[in-house]
């Protein structure tokens, strides 16, 4: 079942660029008002206010999260992307508030939904269905999912895109970036231009449901010989750029696995880690959104359901080979080999200061601990994530040399991080070394 988010109340999606810009403009003014009030309060107490502390308050973060959740579309998506990596940048209480954007999503009210479906399918669209559930079974940043039965007996999950999403992507991304800058959430010298361009490109792809349908079918074909996985089937006759029709697949949230036996948790995580390595080294095609809602499982059959292929990314041919060289050198403890491969990929540059290069190489070697371990690695009994986070924060403090990594590696790291978090949540024990060696 294509669940993405817990569905909250119906709230119309602001569709014009002007109304969306006004919402973010109003948000900036509101934050500025909060800052001025708090600064006055601190001065009255004889304290010297620091701008960073005034901006990054829980009240301001709550305002940002609520406004982005109401706007949906690219604005909400950018907030979600920030929250995936917020732990390295924001204080924990703020990261927690931003994480709400991954859990909450409002849905369109019925009159707005009706208009969207009439535009996609024509005014007589209801004649195609025996039943169409008005209340969505899931709502996310750029669309919501409804269950339906067609007149010819198909049990369907219909993903409907919020109106105005495609038109507002570029302005939403620019406006949210300005808001992040104004709020002082990033060091001034960090150039996020390549990240913004990539966010726009990916969001335009994600908002093309015909493309997502092709990716869905592609993964279905790639995994056709693996009955352990289940990918919904595309129904092209009902799919348009803004509506995606697929078979409805019944399953439970992947989080429910936490209550299953150790053997079952190990089995499912082994499957997902094996798939991750196949996506990189074999398919050279990866579903790069590691949101837990994109995985479900079927208790009776033990199948893992894979959902949401909007963020599917094809990697260049040499990308897998570069990573193969990097991992081989890492497993062999070859520091020079690691440095050469990391430079080739773009993690390191010729002008990276020696101390930062040393820290980056040590962090990479630390990240290989699960792969180096001979036998099942116990994700539930390791402090690796905490050590990696501390190392990341220490490197980020060297503001002058902070660089955005190459975009392919950014999305790869995001997927690896998501699967690592899921394995930790499941307290799984997986022999990663045996998994990676097949591909080296």
CB 403 within 8 A of CB 187: no
Q: How far apart are CA 106 and CA 71, in angstroms?
A: 9
CA distance 304 to 272: 9
Q: What spatial distance separates the first Cα and last Cα of the chain, rounded to whole Å?
A: 35
Q: Return the C-alpha torsion angle 217, 105, 173, 408, nearest 10.
A: -40
Identify the DSSP state of 348. S
Pairing of strands 377-378, 429-430: antiparallel
Q: Write down the catalytic residue from 172, 289, 308, 408.
A: 289
SS3 (DSSP) at 368:
coil
Q: Residue 270 in contact with residue 224, Cβ under 8 Å?
A: no
- Angle formed by the axes of helices 165-182 and 17-44, to 10°? 20
Dist. CA 126–CA 148, nearest whole Å:
11
Which is nearest to 80 in space by CA: 57, 91, 56, 64? 64
How far is the C-alpha of 151 from the C-alpha of 348, rounded, in Å?
A: 58
Cβ-based neighbour number of residue 220 at 10 Å: 18
Structure tokens at 55: 């901006």
The span from the CA of 331 to the CA of 144, in Å, is: 44
SS (H, E, C) 128-182: HEEEECCCCCEECCCEEEEEEEECCCCEEEEEEECCCHHHHHHHHHHHHHHHHHH
The torsion region of residue 299 among left (phi > 0), alpha (psi -120 to 50) and beta comes to alpha
The two structure tokens encoding residue 311: 């963020």
Contacts with 117 (C-beta within 8 Å, 6 or more apart), sequence order: 125, 160, 243
Q: Is 383 a catalytic residue?
A: no
CA–CA separation, 161 and 364 (whole Å): 39
Catalytic residues: 289
């Amino acid at each position: 079942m294509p669940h993405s988010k817990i569905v909250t109340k119906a709230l119309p999606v602001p569709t014009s660029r002007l109304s969306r810009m006004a919402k973010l403009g109003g948000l900036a003014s509101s934050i500025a008002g909060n800052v001025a009030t708090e600064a006055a309060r601190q001065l009255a107490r004889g304290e010297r206010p620091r701008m960073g502390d005034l901006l990054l308050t829980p009240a301001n973060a709550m305002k940002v999260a609520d406004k982005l959740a109401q706007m949906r579309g690219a604005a909400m998506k950018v907030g979600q992307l920030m929250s995936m990596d917020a732990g390295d940048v924001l204080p924990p209480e703020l990261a927690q508030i931003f994480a709400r954007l991954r859990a909450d999503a409002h849905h369109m009210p019925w009159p707005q939904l009706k208009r969207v479906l009439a535009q996609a399918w024509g005014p007589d669209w209801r004649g195609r269905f025996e039943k169409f559930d008005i209340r969505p079974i899931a709502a996310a940043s750029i669309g919501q999912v409804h269950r339906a039965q067609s007149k010819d007996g198909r049990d369907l999950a219909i993903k409907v895109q919020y109106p105005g999403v495609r038109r507002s992507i570029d302005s939403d991304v620019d406006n949210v970036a300005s808001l992040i800058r104004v709020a002082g959430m990033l060091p001034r010298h960090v150039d996020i231009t390549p990240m913004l361009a990539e966010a726009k490109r990916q969001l335009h792809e994600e908002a093309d449901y015909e493309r997502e349908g092709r990716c869905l079918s592609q993964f279905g074909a790639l995994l056709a010989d693996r009955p352990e996985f289940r990918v919904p089937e595309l129904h092209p006759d009902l799919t348009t750029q803004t509506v995606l029709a697929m078979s409805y697949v019944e399953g439970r949230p992947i989080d429910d696995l936490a209550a299953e036996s150790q053997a079952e948790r190990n089995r499912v995580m082994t499957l997902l880690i094996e798939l991750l390595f196949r996506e990189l080294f074999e398919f050279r095609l990866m579903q790069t959104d590691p949101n837990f809602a994109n995985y479900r499982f079927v208790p009776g059959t033990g199948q893992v359901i894979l959902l949401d292929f909007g963020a599917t990314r094809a990697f260049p041919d040499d990308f897998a080979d570069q990573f193969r060289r990097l991992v081989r050198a890492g497993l062999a403890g070859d520091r020079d080999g690691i440095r050469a491969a990391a430079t080739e990929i773009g993690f390191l540059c010729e002008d990276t200061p020696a101390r930062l290069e040393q820290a980056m190489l040590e962090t990479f070697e630390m990240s290989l601990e699960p792969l180096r371990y001979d036998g099942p690695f116990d994700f539930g009994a390791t402090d690796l994530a905490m050590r990696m986070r501390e190392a990341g924060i220490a490197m980020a403090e060297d503001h002058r040399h902070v660089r955005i990594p190459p975009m392919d590696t950014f999305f790869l790291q995001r997927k690896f991080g998501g699967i690592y978090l899921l394995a930790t949540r499941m307290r799984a024990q997986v022999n990663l070394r045996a998994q990676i060696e097949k591909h080296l």
